[in-house]
Amino acid sequence: MELTYKYGFSSGKKCYLEDVIQLSRCCLLEPEWHIGYNDLICKQDIVEYIHELPLLSFPRETLISGHPICNNSKCMLVDNNKIHTIIVGLSLACNLKCYNCWYDGCHYDSQKKKDLYFHVLYGLKGHNLNKIVLTNKGEPFFYLKETLNYLSSLSINDTKEIEAVTNGNCLNKESINLLKSISKEKGIKFSFVFSMDAVTEDTYRKTRIGGDFNKVLTNLSLCVDAFSPENILVSFTCKRTNKNEISLVRSFYEQNFGLNTQISFDSYEPELQQEIKDIYFIES
């Protein structure tokens, strides 16, 4: 099957197919542009190329009120045909095998996909973006050395902010210190979403399979010290394996780290949603 890159908005239903590579700015809307691998790898300036595409402009009313992804996506809308924020979800590589991961069985990249991923990241430079988000198809620090090299190469003329959605296992003291010094030296803001899904080691082990709870807590603490709590969010997805910790999660991360927690529901277990909402009075 042809390796397909999808630019633009995607429903999310297709984004985990093995033959699909996607650069998206919102996961709730339909994709609007496709390009094959061979065409994309030739483009040196990805942002310039995207600007040449006949983009649709989506009014803000199309956003679903209250949806956390959509709220975050407001800055991602094409405004006067200028792109401000780009989410890069082109790599599926990950060090964990979480319970109910959307990308189960796809936690690797072929060399070709890895090359394309970094080719696209470098192709975003030079456009004064507001934010580049390294995100939701795999672990952004899986390629730790290459990713740190990329981040070291950035300047404020490339992006004002880097946001990483991470499971936190690949980081360590040295890499967090390096991220901090890049941020300080370049004036680039770094923010993180730590996907935790647990408040105890036992639940973490059953949910974030292959991860090290204590190591991640240490990394979380180092990031809080380096980047301050306002720049870090904890993510907790309610699943069968962690439902007994839902009532504890907000206070645990607030009291221990001064962090807010975003709670969401596992779409693989819709029957749990009502049960959980009824017990804990959580609004979707």
User: Which residue number, 78 or 101, has a Cβ lying nearer to ligand SF4?
Assistant: 101
User: Which residue number, 68 or 258, has a Cβ lying nearer to ligand SF4?
Assistant: 68
In angstroms, give the least distance from the CB of 224 to ligand SF4.
Answer: 20
> Can you give the binding site for ligand SF4, defined by CB under 6 A?
94, 96-98, 101, 103, 138-139, 167, 195
In angstroms, give the least distance from the CB of 18 to ligand SF4.
Answer: 14
Six-digit token string for 158: 């490339």
Nearest Cα neighbor of 25 from 142, 139, 124, 149 is: 124
Please return the burial class of 110, using the count of CB atoms within 10 Å of its CB with bins 0-12, 13-18 and 19+. exposed
In angstroms, give the least distance from the CB of 68 to ligand SF4.
Answer: 17
User: Which residue number, 8 or 140, has a Cβ lying nearer to ligand SF4?
Assistant: 140
Look-up: residue for tokens 């045909």? 81
In angstroms, give the least distance from the CB of 85 to ligand SF4.
Answer: 21
What span, in angstroms and rounded, lies between the C-alpha atoms of 86 and 259? Answer: 25
User: Which residue number, 58 or 117, has a Cβ lying nearer to ligand SF4?
Assistant: 117
What size, in residues, is the chain? 284
With beta carbons less than 8 A apart as the criterion, state whether 82 and 59 touch. no
User: Which residue number, 92 or 121, has a Cβ lying nearer to ligand SF4?
Assistant: 92
With H, G, I as helix, E, B as strand and everything else as coil, classify residue 189: strand
In angstroms, give the least distance from the CB of 205 to ligand SF4.
Answer: 13
